[in-house]
Amino acid sequence: MRGFLRIGGMMVLITCLCGALMLTACQPAKAPDKNGNPDTGDASAPPITGKIKAGFIYVGPVGDFGWSHAHEQSRQHVMKLFPWMESTYVESVAEADAPRVIDRLVQEEHCDIVFTTSFGYMDSTIEAGKEYPNTLFMHCSGYKQAPNVGTYFAELYQMYYLNGLMAGALTKSKKVGYVGAHPIPEVVRHINAFGLGLREVNPDARVTVKWLFAWYDPAKARDATEALIAEGCDVIAFTQDSPAICEVCQEYAARGKQVLTFGHYSPMQRFGQDAVVSGQLVDWNGLYEEILMRVHTKTWTNRDYWWLAKERATLLGGEPDVPINPKFVEPLKAVTVKDPILGPISVHDLALKRLDQMREPTVLFDPFTGPIKDQSGTLRLKPAERASMSMLLSMDWFLDNIDGTIPKN
């Protein structure tokens, strides 16, 4: 007798076992849902309890820093704050997959409100709004609303302007670099605001722009930074999600060459203690609290929330509660400019004064106030005229102290 065992046969057996187990497991999946409501199969039925369930769709991984991370932090914040809230999230959702994920959140997870947190989800969100009139949607960073679709955004350009003031005081070569993620209106707005700040303190300084065509690509960001430094830039600002540029500047500091930068979006001073002067930080907590509270109290409307410094949605600094890196406070106090209204004032004080003005309920100051000319010399804003919302949202021109191109069609 030569007993032998066929591995193939054994695998067939394993499968049968799995199949049997799975069939039994399918039963509880169909059983009553979390709220104890029997599954009636009616997808759009509103929940019976007073709980509110929110679904969040993120474009990137929730990770350690950057855009999706910031939203996820605030989701966790409101979950702790509101005992009546339930939530679920889906990360790394490609634009093309958004309709499917929205369907799932509404039909299977029975969400009362769905937050879609990337510009590319805009049309999918509007479509979903038509398909599910009993569900609320909030789309982040878009410009289309519908009866049950609102929009919200935390805008950073004011902080970029403040960073620009500091860059103007600290640059010695009068050449400042800017690494931009994508040539889209939001980033163009950031670059122009930065340029406005720079010009106010240092009218001769110029900004050189390099595009990455990626939100997150540390290797490309590093290359772009090295190239800008080789061209003579001694301050680098950026709009992209990795802290790579802070690390490059810190490496230069360690070698005794000063190249300064500003953190973007997340706390990034920790990646460059000797090189990160300040930065822009976002805080979505207030916006999510406001929106969810309105859903809870049944006062939600399809508003367009556009929150800035005034609402404390955007903050100055490379770390929370550190508007200016202490290492650079003295150098910034040492540079004085003459302001038509404020008189002689150090750049340090000017930046903090401007921040206060922008935080006033009536917004006493806005960077995008004319006269503003673009690269070709065209007057875009007349003296004392402030930029309209539509100009800010579709900005496709550079200020006259900026060297770089926006790809045109």
Interacting residues toward another protein by CB under 8 A: 2-8, 10-12, 14-19, 21-22, 24-26, 28-29, 55, 61-62, 88-92, 94-97, 99-101, 103-105, 107-109, 119-120, 143, 182-185, 188, 213, 393-396, 406-409
Question: Smaller CB distance to another protein: residue 103 or 289?
Answer: 103
Question: Smaller CB distance to another protein: residue 271 or 368?
Answer: 368
User: Taking the complex as a whole, how short is the minimal distance between the CB of residue 385 and another protein, in angstroms?
Assistant: 22
Cα separations (Å) of 154 from 87, 159, 324? 21, 11, 21
Three-state DSSP class for residue 277: strand
Question: Smaller CB distance to another protein: residue 20 or 81?
Answer: 20
Contacts (Cβ under 8 Å, ≥6 apart) of 21: none
Question: Smaller CB distance to another protein: residue 161 or 211?
Answer: 211
36's enclosing H/E stretch is none
User: Taking the complex as a whole, how short is the minimal distance between the CB of residue 38 and another protein, in angstroms?
Assistant: 17
Other Cβ atoms less than 10 A from the Cβ of 257: the count is: 11
User: Taking the complex as a whole, how short is the minimal distance between the CB of residue 243 and another protein, in angstroms?
Assistant: 21
Find tokens 């021109």 and name the residue: 397
- Is-cis flag, bond preceding 371, omega within 30? yes
Question: Smaller CB distance to another protein: residue 340 or 407?
Answer: 407
CA 310 to chain centre: 17
Cβ–Cβ under 8 Å, residues 171 and 367: no
Entry field: residues in the chain: 409
User: Taking the complex as a whole, how short is the minimal distance between the CB of residue 190 and another protein, in angstroms?
Assistant: 13
User: Taking the complex as a whole, how short is the minimal distance between the CB of residue 203 and another protein, in angstroms?
Assistant: 28
Determine what percent of the chain falls in helix, strand and coil, rounding each to the nearest 5. 40, 20, 40
Residue 109 CA to residue 381 CA, distance in Å, equals: 48
Question: Smaller CB distance to another protein: residue 184 or 295?
Answer: 184
User: Taking the complex as a whole, how short is the minimal distance between the CB of residue 88 and another protein, in angstroms?
Assistant: 5
Residue 131 CA to residue 253 CA, distance in Å, equals: 55
Question: Smaller CB distance to another protein: residue 48 or 96?
Answer: 96
Question: Smaller CB distance to another protein: residue 89 or 328?
Answer: 89
User: Taking the complex as a whole, how short is the minimal distance between the CB of residue 198 and another protein, in angstroms?
Assistant: 23
User: Taking the complex as a whole, how short is the minimal distance between the CB of residue 194 and another protein, in angstroms?
Assistant: 18
Question: Smaller CB distance to another protein: residue 252 or 368?
Answer: 368
User: Taking the complex as a whole, how short is the minimal distance between the CB of residue 396 and another protein, in angstroms?
Assistant: 5
Residue 321 CA to residue 267 CA, distance in Å, equals: 10
DSSP assignment letter at 388: P
Backbone φ and ψ for 276, nearest 5 degrees, come out as -90, 115
Residue 69 CA to residue 290 CA, distance in Å, equals: 20
Residue 13 CA to residue 409 CA, distance in Å, equals: 61
User: Taking the complex as a whole, how short is the minimal distance between the CB of residue 181 and another protein, in angstroms?
Assistant: 11
Contacts (Cβ under 8 Å, ≥6 apart) of 231: 175, 177, 208
Question: Smaller CB distance to another protein: residue 346 or 375?
Answer: 375
Cβ–Cβ under 8 Å, residues 324 and 332: yes
The per-residue DSSP string of 109-121 comes to S--SEEEE-SGGG
Cβ–Cβ under 8 Å, residues 259 and 236: yes
User: Taking the complex as a whole, how short is the minimal distance between the CB of residue 273 and another protein, in angstroms?
Assistant: 31
Three-state DSSP class for residue 90: strand
Residue 125 CA to residue 116 CA, distance in Å, equals: 7
Question: Smaller CB distance to another protein: residue 97 or 349?
Answer: 97
